[in-house]
Structures are given as structure tokens and as C-alpha cells.
Amino acid sequence: MVKIVIVAGQQLFPVATGGQLRTAGFAQALARQGYNVTVYSLTGRRADYVSSRFLAGRRQEAIEDRLIEITHLGFWRGIAHYLSRAVRYPRFLQYYALARGWIPKELRTLLSEADAVIADGSFIPRVPEYPATQPWYLLSHQLEFKLLEQQYGVAHRYTQRLKRFEEKAAQQYHEIFSVAEADQEFFRKEDIRKLIDAPILRCGVDPLRYQRDPVTRARVREELGFATNDTVFLFTGSAWLPNAQAVSFLREFARRNHDVLRKLRIYFLIVGSVEKASSRDGRAVITGRVPEIFPYFCAADVGLNPIDTGAGANVKLFEYVAAKLPVMSTTFGARGSSLVEGIDYVGFNRENFLDVLHSVVARRSDGDWELLGEEVWSRHKNQFDITEIVRSTLILAPDFPQIPYQRLPES
């Protein structure tokens, strides 16, 4: 059995953010191809630190066949993580600790036995004491320093330091799996060894997570107060600045155009920790953080992506397509995907948003709207199914331990 260890900064399962969704899908894709995968997460979530798990010092969950997650619940790592988040300080403390070899004993053992190690993002450097022949890979979600450039206040100050970390990453790993062309170009430019040559490992999702059903749809729409002939535009997001900016735009737009949206029977359904609490703001319905996001895909009619800042790719776009929802997106929001504007998604910008909403609602009433989502998924499923993406990418990755491919039954 080929052993893969994925080192993550924070507990992955159940997923709560786009970055976690990408890494979790990557881990599941490896397991379903026959790899034995252990995710080692360096910190837990708040609930773990106030439960009996904290006293045990660790949390272990069997996610599915051949995939487990071990979460370290050490007090000082947890305190450092949450204090850093509170003051918007990037995860440099985590980076420095790993770079100096300050790692839990259990992780040390796992790394020594691994056939390959995956670092989940740029804040997980290669631990120095392990032999150079052991293959380490970086799963990059985005250029983190590019994201910091767009932040306000304290976080923005650390842009250049984080850029130096990511420049060093090109010299640390056997390979870097970038999510988009611009990211790959950056790492290759900094790669003085000229080793980084893997294809882009684009975003993808597990389509089994997004099988919509009419019973859940009817239940959730009733709970949210949506009528059968209302058109619900779904926006999902975590507490990340580009998401927050998009939500501010949607809420302000909904207030300014309340009467028009009411006449068109349009609602914006905003789901996730991008908003702290649930509320109703006219035609905008906000859930706040939810234990499970899937039911809201069932309730929706259109996947909406008004993002126009950020880095990497928007995982929400891939979720919309996997759920077979018709998609409205800005051109920027569709970056890192194979979708073609005008064919696979309806493009818009903030200036023509209202006009495009009119056309989308009219098209839905013509009866071909449901078919559009099915057609887009059929055209792009090999580029959106994370298992297929990972399989085809790893075949071309230098030194990655290979096993005979046989797609195993999903758990």
C-alpha cells in the first residue's frame, strides 16, 4: 500500500471553505484510486478545544476507505492559531515552527513512513530533517501574497514576507501543483533547479456531493419562504475579503432595486460564514454559517459568482457546475476553469447586472433552463471531477509514486 501524508494547517473535514474543499477532494481522489492517505491537521476547530477531545490531545476520524484525518489538539498551537486569526496575522508562526522542525511526535513518525508528502498550501514548508530523496509536493490553492495585496489594514503589511516564502517554495518541493496559469508561471520563474514541470491541477469537486433531489429542494425552499415560481440565485462563500466584497455589492444592489427584483420574483440566497449571522435584507436571504451547504444547492435555481478580486480560482464555480445549476459569473470569477462565456455560463459585470438578471429570468421561463446545467456538466465533467483531475495530473508528476489505476467505488 502506497502511503501518502497530507499536512494541513487546520482540520479539513467536514469542509467549511473553498480551500478545504480542494484539499479534501484531493485526499478523497487519492484514496479512491487506491492510495492509503492520512491527513494530519495541525490545529482543530473551536468545538474541539472545549470538548473531551482536547483532553486526549488529538482527534482521529475515518473519513472513508483508505482515508483518515488526525487532528493535533495541542494547547499552544491552538492558542497561536486563534490569536493570529483574531489579529489578522498570517500563519507565519505555523510556518516558522515547521521550518525549524518543531512538529508533533506522531506527525514525525508518519512523515518517516510516507512514500510521498503533500503540503496543503504555502504556510506548510518542507520539514528540514527528512532526506532530500523523499518526495514532497505543494498543493497550492492560490498565490497567497497576491491575496494579501488586496487586503486592508494589518494583513497587507506582510505581503513581501509571504512573497519570499512562496519564492522559496519553488526551491523546496519536488513539484508544485498550481491551480491556475499565473500561479504556475510564478513558481516556474522562481525555480532555479528547473524541476517544476507538472501540469496545472485545477479545481475540482466530488460530484457525488452535489446530487440534488426534489424532496430536499421543496423542504428547504419552504423553510426559507421561497415560492415555486421564485428564482433563487445562490452565492456561497467563507469569510474571505473577495467574498465579503461580493456580498456587499449584492446587498446594496438588492436594496437599490428592491421593487424590480420583487416584480421579477428574484431572491439572492447568501450561504456561508461570509456573513456572521442569519438575516433577511429585502430580496437578500442570508444564512450565516451552516452545518451543511448541500441542501442550499437543492433550493437554488442559478449559481451566482460576482467575484471580481482575489487569487487562484473560485471553487464555488465548480460546485455550481457539479450541482448542474446554470451559472452566472463575472469573467474574473470564471478564471482557472474551462468554461466559455456565452456557451457554458452567462457573463455579467456590475454595470449590466440588472439587464442580465432580466434575460436570465426570461430564459428560465422558456423551459430550457434546467437542461443547460446538465449540458455544461456533460461537456466539462472530466475537467471538474476531482478524481479524474488528480489521476490525469499525477501520471505526469515527476517522482510521484504510481499505482495501477482502478477507480474504486466511492464511499
Query: What is the mean pLDDT of the segment spanning 348-365?
Result: 92
* Ordered strands of the 136-139 beta sheet: 58-64, 67-72, 36-41, 3-8, 116-120, 136-139, 175-177
pLDDT value at residue 411:
41
| Better pLDDT: 112 or 239 | 112
Grid cell at residue 326:
446554470
Q: For the segment 361-402, what is each residue's pLDDT rounded down to a tens digit?
A: 988 766 677 788 899 999 999 889 999 999 989 888 867 888
Least confident of 7-11, 28-32, 150-154, 395-399: 150-154
Flag whether pLDDT at 85 surpasses 80: no
Grid cell at residue 286:
442570508
Q: What is the pTM of this model?
A: 0.83
Average of per-residue pLDDT values in the chain: 89
Query: Looking up cell 421561463, which residue turns up?
Result: 365
pLDDT value at residue 375:
92
Residues carrying CATH 3.40.50.2000, the chain: 3-205+386-394, 208-381
Q: For the segment 272-281, what is each residue's pLDDT rounded down to a tens digit?
A: 999 989 999 8
pLDDT value at residue 367:
64
| Better pLDDT: 87 or 226 | 226
CA distance 284 to 232: 10
CA distance 40 to 56: 16
- What's the burial of 355, exposed, middle or buried (CB within 10 Å: 0-12/13-18/19+)? exposed
Q: For the segment 173-230, what is each residue's pLDDT rounded down to a tens digit?
A: 989 999 888 899 999 999 988 888 888 898 889 998 898 999 999 999 999 999 999 9
Query: What is the mean pLDDT of the segment spanning 226-238?
Result: 94
Query: Looking up cell 508528476, which residue turns up?
Result: 397
Per residue, the 3-state secondary structure of the chain, as one string, reads: CCEEEEEECCCCCCCCCHHHHHHHHHHHHHHHCCCEEEEEECCCCHHHHHCHHHHHCEEEEEEECCEEEEEECCHHHHHHHHHHHHCCCCCHHHHHHHHCCCCCHHHHHHHHHCCEEEEECCCCCCCCCCCCCCCEEEECCCCHHHHHHCCCHHHHHHHHHHHHHHHHHHHHCCEEECCCHHHHHHHHHHCCCCCCCCCCCCCCECHHHHCCCHHHHHHHHHHHCCCCCCEEEEEECCCCHHHHHHHHHHHHHHHHCHHHHHHHCEEEEEECCCCCCCEEECCEEEEECCCCCHHHHHHCCEEEECCCCCCCCCHHHHHHHHCCCCEEECCHHHCCCCCCECCCEEECCCCCHHHHHHHHHHHHHCCCHHHHHHHHHHHHHHHHEHHHHHHHHHCCCCCCCCCCCCCCCCC
Query: What is the mean pLDDT of the segment spanning 158-175?
Result: 90
274: Cα separation from own chain's centroid: 14
- Measured N-to-C along each axis, helices 18-32 and 386-394 cross at an angle, to the nearest 10 degrees, of 70
Architecture of domain 3-205+386-394: 3-Layer(aba) Sandwich (3.40)
| CATH code of the region 208-381 | 3.40.50.2000
